[in-house]
């Protein structure tokens, strides 16, 4: 039985509030959950008895006895995150509060047209990796996966010439059966965009997040996500924000110099953006093109100029474009966090923009924390 099944509703709400806010005092919990002090005390005792929560003294703002600060214990559980980018796969093992404990990167290029073979290979890799890092499956609460395909009621479908042909593959069911863990599947670019939203502390407005990543056939895949008031617009089936045929074939431009190649990539990106921008009217456009290395600033400059030229006289107020602030395996990190978020709070609720000093925030930003009382 999963540990959350043994919690009362109040204990689960209390645990979720502590995780979401990176810790609270009793008074903070009472205010956040609108619960009485005795109810909060009973919930905290139950959570501490189970080893899920720990307390510490907070600095008192005035003279007097310091308030107790309650936080989720980092070792209370662990979660796995995977960015199934293809051909690259990123794996992250996260503790209960979002600190990365271990991560691994690999490539999968063989048998991509045989989904079950690929998934079985991933299972073997995950189990060997967990054994190597001395992590028991008993401590895991689930696996979160970011996929570049389309989520359908009957599974996952990959479409397009730059992806293997998967049609309604039951990825979640297959992995849950093999790993004996809950599996949560989301769009990979949505997870990257969520990392950006949390890092920047965006709680209002609309942003368009664009990801440019290497494909399988000497090409680049362009993915999109729409960020609205601190949330990612999932769409009706979890595929919101996808861009139509947004692929850059690199073969026709490989003989160009770097500036020429970047200009062509930028033009292809603009071809997609000129349809998306009038539709959603974003205030910000963020481009994640880490794969281009030092050429990323030139890409953004070309996009800015080309968008202005293409939309002049057709649209007023084209948003400025900026590079993504979050780098590395951000999708895998968010996939691991999404598992805990799904367990404790409603799936689409973002964590408050942060202010802590753990490994996650050192890499991805600072968490906003209520003032000590």
**Final residue before a domain boundary, out of 130, 157, 190:** 190
**In terms of domains, do 171 and 278 share one?**
no
92 domain-assigned = yes
303 domain-assigned = yes
Q: Where do runs of H (alpha helix) occur along 133-245?
A: 171-179, 188-200
Q: Which domain holds residue 176?
A: 78-190
Q: What letter would DSSP give residue 354?
A: B
Q: Is the pLDDT of residue 63 over 60?
A: no
pLDDT digits (tens, 9 = 90+) for 332-366: 999 999 999 888 875 444 445 443 333 333 333 33
336 domain-assigned = no
**In terms of domains, do 318 and 284 share one?**
yes
pLDDT number for residue 296: 96
Among 18, 73, 68, 15, which residue's Cα sits nearest to residue 46? 15
**In terms of domains, do 264 and 184 share one?**
no
Number of domains in the chain: 3
**In terms of domains, do 283 and 170 share one?**
no
64 domain-assigned = no
204 domain-assigned = yes
Predicted confidence band of residue 66 (pLDDT cuts 50, 70, 90): confident
Average of per-residue pLDDT across 317-337? 89
**Distance (Å, rounded) from C-alpha 322 to C-alpha 301?**
9
Output the average pLDDT for the chain. Answer: 86
Among 363, 311, 83, which residue's Cα sits nearest to residue 211? 83
Average of per-residue pLDDT across 66-88? 91
- CATH code of 27's domain: 1.10.10
How many CB atoms sit inside 10 A of residue 78's CB? Answer: 24
pTM, two decimals, is: 0.82
- CATH code of 86's domain: 3.30.420.40
**In terms of domains, do 240 and 285 share one?**
yes
**In terms of domains, do 122 and 234 share one?**
no
**In terms of domains, do 307 and 220 share one?**
yes
**In terms of domains, do 287 and 313 share one?**
yes
**In terms of domains, do 229 and 319 share one?**
yes
Among 210, 136, 199, which residue's Cα sits nearest to residue 355? 199
- Tell me if 59 sits within 8 A of 372, measured CB to CB: yes
Burial call 284-298: b when 16+ CB within 10 Å, e when fewer = bbbbbbbebeebbeb
pLDDT digits (tens, 9 = 90+) for 43-56: 999 999 999 999 98
pLDDT greater at residue 368 or residue 320: 320
Burial call 2-30: b when 16+ CB within 10 Å, e when fewer = eeeeebeebbbbbbbbbbbbbbbbbebbb
pLDDT number for residue 347: 45
């Amino acid at each position: 039985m999963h540990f959350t099944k043994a919690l009362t509703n109040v204990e689960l709400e209390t645990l979720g509030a502590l995780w979401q806010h990176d810790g609270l005092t009793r008074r903070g919990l009472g205010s956040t959950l609108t619960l009485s002090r005795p109810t909060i005390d009973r919930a905290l005792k139950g959570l501490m008895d189970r080893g899920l929560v720990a307390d510490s003294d907070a600095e008192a703002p005035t003279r007097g006895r310091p308030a107790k600060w309650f936080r989720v214990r980092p070792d209370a559980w662990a979660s796995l995150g995977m960015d199934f980018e293809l051909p690259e796969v990123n794996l992250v093992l996260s503790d209960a509060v979002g600190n990365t404990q271990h991560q691994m990167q690999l490539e999968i290029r063989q048998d991509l047209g045989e989904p079950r073979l690929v998934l079985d290979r991933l299972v073997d890799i995950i189990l060997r990796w967990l054994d190597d890092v001395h992590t028991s499956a008993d401590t895991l609460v689930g696996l979160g996966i970011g996929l570049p395909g389309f989520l359908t009621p009957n599974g996952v479908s990959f479409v397009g010439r730059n992806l293997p042909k998967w049609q309604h593959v039951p990825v979640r069911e297959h992995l849950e059966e093999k790993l004996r863990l809950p599996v949560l599947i989301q769009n990979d670019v949505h997870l990257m965009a969520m990392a950006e939203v949390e890092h920047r502390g965006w709680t209002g407005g609309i942003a368009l997040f664009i990801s440019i990543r290497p494909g399988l056939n000497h090409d680049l895949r362009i993915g999109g996500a729409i960020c609205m008031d601190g949330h990612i617009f999932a769409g009706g089936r979890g595929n919101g924000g996808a861009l139509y045929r947004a692929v850059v074939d690199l073969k026709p431009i490989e003989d160009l110099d770097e500036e020429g190649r970047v200009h062509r990539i930028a033009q292809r990106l603009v071809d997609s953006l000129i349809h998306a921008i009038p539709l959603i009217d974003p205030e910000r456009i963020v481009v994640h093109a880490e794969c281009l290395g030092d050429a990323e600033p030139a890409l953004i400059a070309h996009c800015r100029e080309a968008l202005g030229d293409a939309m002049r006289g057709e649209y007023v107020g084209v948003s400025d474009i900026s590079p993504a602030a979050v780098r590395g395996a951000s999708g895998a990190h968010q996939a691991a966090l999404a598992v805990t978020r799904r367990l404790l709070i409603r799936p689409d609720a973002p964590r408050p923009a942060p202010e802590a000093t753990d490994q996650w925030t050192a890499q991805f930003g600072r968490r906003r924390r209520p003032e000590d009382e």
